[in-house]
Chain A
Amino acid sequence: MSDVTTATEGVEPDFDVIVIGAGVAGCVAAYLLAQAGRSVVLIERGDTPGAKNLSGGVLYSRVLEEVFPDFLTEAPIERTITRNYIQFLNGSSSIGIDYQDDRLANPVNAVTVLRATLDAWLAEKCEEAGVFLMAGVRVDAVLKENGRVVGVRAGEDELRAHVVVAADGVNSFIARDAGLRTKEPTNHLALGVKAIVSLPEETIRERFHLSGDEGAAYAVVGDCTMGVGGGGFMYTNKASLSIGVVLRLDDMTAKGYASSDVFDHFIAHPFVAPFLKDGEISEYASHLVAEGGLSMVGQIETDGMVVVGDAAGLTLNTGLTVRGMDLAAASGIAAATGIDQALTAGDTSKVGLAGYRTALFASFAGKDMETYAKAPAFLERERMYTRYGQLLGDILYGVFNHDLTPRRRLMSVARGELKRSPVRMRDLMSDGIAGVRAL
């Protein structure tokens, strides 16, 4: 092995692999590499794994079953999502799609999780597989020698490895430190503000028409964000609701609203408030969401290092589904594959680690990022958040409001409302075509 392709210049590395961040991506990569017989240290800045992690959506769980066959029975799952609602909110009206399907429970498609418990479970699986877990340690920087990453520095301590995995989340200071990322433009980022509202299990079942461990998830657009690009979400846990808003940063700064006011507006909205009645906020926090899609992924491997999960911008908003954790898991699998190959070949340079990218883009995760590459630009169209919900509401009002005027045909009502709406026919055409192309 030459100096160019391996980590060391006479210094024996402490581990084959250092994984920074015990979230979904980091844990999956660490677990699989340990199973492959590699020595792995998993460094987590939280006192316990999950203490810093927050999700705002359901987990499409099948990919985790590939890694942990007993995932559905052993992991701390809150509910199985069998009901998906898509809701347009206007000031005084709302329009929804209620998609319920028994097939979503068999096989299980999506589940709700609380990250503090899920990530603790994942890290425990890692430890069982032989991963050395270092919790309560913040990695300050990567160690570089001759331009390649050879380890990490945490305070006074240095650890060396053949490969470092940056699984440190959406802010990814590690990828920035290594020169792989620059500061992200604000239209690529959204702020998620979320509360957990505690409610009795039975109340949740009644309010959401659920039985047993079934769960429901709402995706909400329109008045929930006071017109800011983004949306609201609400989903059921066992004995709580996860509820919040996701707000595109560029639009938030342009509009100048306080994010807490937008959140408060959402939870007080007449459509939302009844679901929360008599509940109690037991946790309130925020998290950034990568919204740049494929264009945000960028460079994910360099000499001695790969970037996975949120840190690699691997999240997807398709308008109907919002995904991150499943893509994180897929990137963890791909990284483990690429790193294992590189270690076997004795070449952990950028070229040697290219198997990660190949595996990622051969998987559903990479392919979906490509399929939805145009979604972020489409979802930046302002009308999505303000005018279409209102237009739809006005058309339905025209249909249902029997004010003793003679009825008009649906198309005529729609044409009339479109005429009165600030939405122009050409906007509708343009958005329609763009939507078909992007989604």
Chain B
Amino acid sequence: MKKTTIPERLARNRYVTDEEESHIHVDQEIARRTGTGKAIVAICPAKVYAEEADGTISVEYAACSECGACLAIAAPGALTWRYPRGGMGIQLRQG
């Protein structure tokens, strides 16, 4: 099978992106201090999180599979994460 990048794979998924609000917020200070920033970058299979040059964590929330792994490993206060609003987010066609 041809090797594909994560963005190439995600491009085959269907998403309804909530243009008005992100369902994910990172507290940069706590994320940096607790190591949560690096941990969520690694754990997310969709690479929603990236560490920028200045050390902050950027969030590509539209790519989220809504599994909740990042929230499960995050230090208290580092991450605010909820499901997207009804009907928004990933729309699995197979599952």
Binding site for B on A (CB under 8 A): 45-48, 50-55, 114-117, 119, 135-138, 154-155, 170-171, 173, 183-184, 186, 189, 191-193, 195-197, 240, 249, 252-253, 256-260, 263-264, 267-268, 273, 276-288
Contact = CB atoms under 8 A, between A and B. Distances in A.
For chain B, the bracket of interface size reads 35 or more
Contacts, number: 147
A53 B9 contact: no
Contacts of B94: 114-117, 196, 240, 282-283
A71 to B, nearest CB: 18
Contact of A52 (B3, B9, B90): B90
Contacts of A197: 1
B83 A45 contact: yes
5 contacts: A51-B95, A191-B69, A193-B45, A256-B42, A258-B42
Q: Main secondary structure on chain B at its contact with chain A? A: loop
A288 B95 contact: no
A257 B38 CA distance: 11
B35 to A, nearest CB: 9
Given A45-B86, A46-B87, A193-B45, A253 B95 contact: no
A282 B67 contact: no
Interface string B72-95: 110000000011111101111111
Given A45-B83, A50-B95, A285 B90 contact: yes
A42 to B, nearest CB: 13
A155 B21 CA distance: 14
B65 A47 contact: no
Given A193-B45, A284-B9, A259 B69 contact: yes
A188 to B, nearest CB: 9
B27 to A, nearest CB: 16
Contacts of A264: 3
A279 B1 CA distance: 5
A388 to B, nearest CB: 27
B92 A284 contact: no
A50 B65 contact: no
Nearest to B23: A138
Contacts of B47: 260
Contacts of B73: 186, 249, 252-253
Scoring B13, B38, B45, B82 by chain A CB atoms within 10 A of each residue's CB, the highest score goes to: B45
B55 to A, nearest CB: 17
B44 A281 contact: no
B72 A286 contact: no
Contact of B83 (A114, A138, A170, A288): A138
Contacts of A276: 1
A136 B94 CA distance: 18
B91 A249 contact: no
Nearest to B40: A253
Scoring B9, B41, B72, B83 by chain A CB atoms within 10 A of each residue's CB, the highest score goes to: B72
Contact of A285 (B65, B71, B82): B65
A191 to B, nearest CB: 5
A304 to B, nearest CB: 23
B83 A285 contact: no
Contact of A191 (B9, B13, B43): B43
A258 B43 CA distance: 6
Nearest to A168: B83
Contacts of B68: 170-171, 288
Interface string B37-68: 01101111111000000000000000001111
Contact of B95 (A54, A273, A280): A54
B1 A267 contact: yes
A288 B43 CA distance: 12
Contact of B87 (A136, A173, A189): A136
A285 B42 contact: no
A263 B87 contact: no
Contact of A186 (B4, B10, B72, B84): B72
